[in-house]
Structure 1
Amino acid sequence: MNDVVLSIRGLTKEFVLHTIDGRRVPALDGVDLDVRAGEHVVLAGASGAGKSSLLRCVYRTYLPGGGEVMFTRADGTRVDLARLPDAEVAALRGREIGYVSQFLKTEPRRATVDVVARAGAARGMPPADARRAAEGALDQLNIEPKLWAMYPTVLSGGQKQRVNLASGLISPPRLLLLDEPVSALDPVNREAVLALVERLAGTGVAVLSVFHDLDAIERLADRVVVLDRGRAVATGPPREILHDSSYELEVAR
């Protein structure tokens, strides 16, 4: 795990509350962070510490205010995601950077299996291979075949979450961002998702995630980074960080 895939230096982000006298609210305040190939780093901290904002800045859903977000592409070249043109960011999202949240956003009239297959095709898979891989991913995540032709809009919250994960994991990207991917799942499907994510380490995927589940963090994380008011204040193995009462962590124990 020596190859740094993601290197964040001095990352800042603030939000302007236009409806409340234009005041500025800091979300990230000079975050430094590295994630290596095959490493799973979990972000921890209290609500409002900046965990999801950091993921969205990396994925460029949010435009960073300052700092660097250096990403090493598959060909070895490095790009700053904080400054990359939108078209190039979109291309990287399709092929090398995946993002899975607890919410599924997709076209309302596209079959579930096609939603997942489309993600595989965007990463360079031939259409027939993408379709087979989509079916396999849905099967691994306990989405019944009778649901594959249905629109995601008619699925339950937990089913949508698993479809979202299948899209993120089909032809796994170089960097995977996970924002509470098991929050709406029952124990059986939660285990299916955790097992799938656990296997990613062996494929060399770099994972940066947010979990609020102590068991999941201890099981998956190589390293935990604690955020406090937008700053990275500690980093270390989960067994050290999670049981240190000096940190305010939003986790279910």
Structure 2
Amino acid sequence: MSEIVLRVRNLTKRFVVHNVDGRTVDGLRGVDLDVGAGEHVALAGTSGAGKSSLLKCVYRTYLPTTGTVELQTSTGQRIDLAGLADHELVALRGRELGYVSQFLHAPPRRSPFDIVTRAAASRGLPRFEAREVAADALRRLHLDEALWDVYANVLSGGERQRVNLAAGTVSPPRLLLLDEPVSALDPANREAALDVIGDLTRHGVAVLSVFHDLEAMSLLADRVVLMSDGRVAESGDPSTILPVLTGAAR
């Protein structure tokens, strides 16, 4: 394997259900996972298996209960995201760590072009260059230029999803987390989005994703990790793991 960008060890996440007598639910149970530079690892499994919880623990939307989430930065430094101070984490996200969900959570009165330009600038690009790469990203994802300067909250679901993907992939970070990034797209725009995602690994980006679309996984993933009950149940080539998923769905 190429150099390890993400190393997860013995990761657990316990949720407290405050409105049901404070009982606890184990979302992740001792997960171990590696993702190399230029590798796309797709997480698979049924609803509640722990896929999105794992992504959110890596991005630190959720604070892990125990375990380590080690990121190797572009300077070669290894940082445990699970123990990082909040202000350090925010700075690191701009440069090294990206997250694309199926929903665009845009600040009010921001245009698609502004959102993507700011994302590029947060990764260290000068303003003029950030504008250029933002325009290229929006064109690659087929967003009509007439929509670039409107408020993002008036866009359709599919348009918002393309803006979200453009912001996540423009001047891409060292590690990119994808949570159902093409779920709202029509076939033509889905194909454009998959091309953009495929280019990431060819340029050395480490990608950890969740897709319910098995065809997308087969096209993009180098490795599929099957999760069950908060654990890694199986890991291997898509040609080995995807038939297991297809059989389970019958």
Report the CA distance between 1:245 and its aligned residue. 6.0
The aligned residue for residue 151 of structure 2 is 151
The aligned residue for residue 125 of structure 1 is 125
The aligned residue for residue 41 of structure 2 is 41
Cα deviations across residues 33-59 of structure 1 (Å, max 9, x unaligned)? 000000000000010000000000000
The aligned residue for residue 56 of structure 2 is 56
Question: Aligned equivalents of 2:228 and 2:248: distance in 1?
Answer: 8
The aligned residue for residue 101 of structure 1 is 101
Instruction: Work out the percentage of aligned pairs sharing the same amino acid.
Output: 60
The residue type paired with residue 92 of structure 1 is L
For 1:243, what is the secondary structure of its paired residue?
helix
Cα deviations across residues 119-177 of structure 1 (Å, max 9, x unaligned)? 00000000011011111101110101100001110000000000000000110110000
Question: Aligned equivalents of 1:58 and 1:40: distance in 2?
Answer: 15
C-alpha contact 1:45 1:248 (8 A) present in aligned 2: no
Question: Aligned equivalents of 1:229 and 1:176: distance in 2?
Answer: 24
The residue type paired with residue 172 of structure 2 is P
Cα deviations across residues 173-232 of structure 1 (Å, max 9, x unaligned)? 100000000101100000000011111111100000000111111100000001100000
The 5 Å alignment of 1:4-23 reads 4-23=4-23
The residue type paired with residue 144 of structure 1 is D
The 5 Å alignment of 1:1-253 reads 1-244=1-244, 248=248
The residue type paired with residue 194 of structure 1 is L
Cα distance change of structure 1 residues 32 and 38 upon mapping to structure 2, 3 Å threshold:
same
Question: Aligned equivalents of 1:20 and 1:51: distance in 2?
Answer: 24
Cα deviations across residues 11-49 of structure 1 (Å, max 9, x unaligned)? 000111101100101100000000000000000001000
Cα distance change of structure 1 residues 245 and 94 upon mapping to structure 2, 3 Å threshold:
closer
Question: Aligned equivalents of 1:124 and 1:49: distance in 2?
Answer: 36
C-alpha contact 1:108 1:153 (8 A) present in aligned 2: yes
Question: Aligned equivalents of 1:81 and 1:180: distance in 2?
Answer: 23
Question: Aligned equivalents of 1:141 and 1:197: distance in 2?
Answer: 11
C-alpha contact 2:13 2:27 (8 A) present in aligned 1: yes
Report the CA distance between 1:106 and its aligned residue. 1.6
Q: What is the TM-score with the length of structure 2 in the denominator?
A: 0.98
C-alpha contact 2:226 2:234 (8 A) present in aligned 1: yes
C-alpha contact 1:45 1:247 (8 A) present in aligned 2: no
Which structure 1 residue ranges, 4+ long, deviate > 3 Å from structure 2?
245-249
Structure 2 stretches of 5 or more lacking a match?
none
Question: Aligned equivalents of 2:215 and 2:44: distance in 1?
Answer: 13
Once superposed, what is the RMSD of the aligned Cα atoms?
1.3
Report the CA distance between 1:244 and its aligned residue. 2.3
Cα distance change of structure 1 residues 107 and 226 upon mapping to structure 2, 3 Å threshold:
same
Cα distance change of structure 1 residues 247 and 88 upon mapping to structure 2, 3 Å threshold:
farther
More helix per residue: 1 or 2? 2
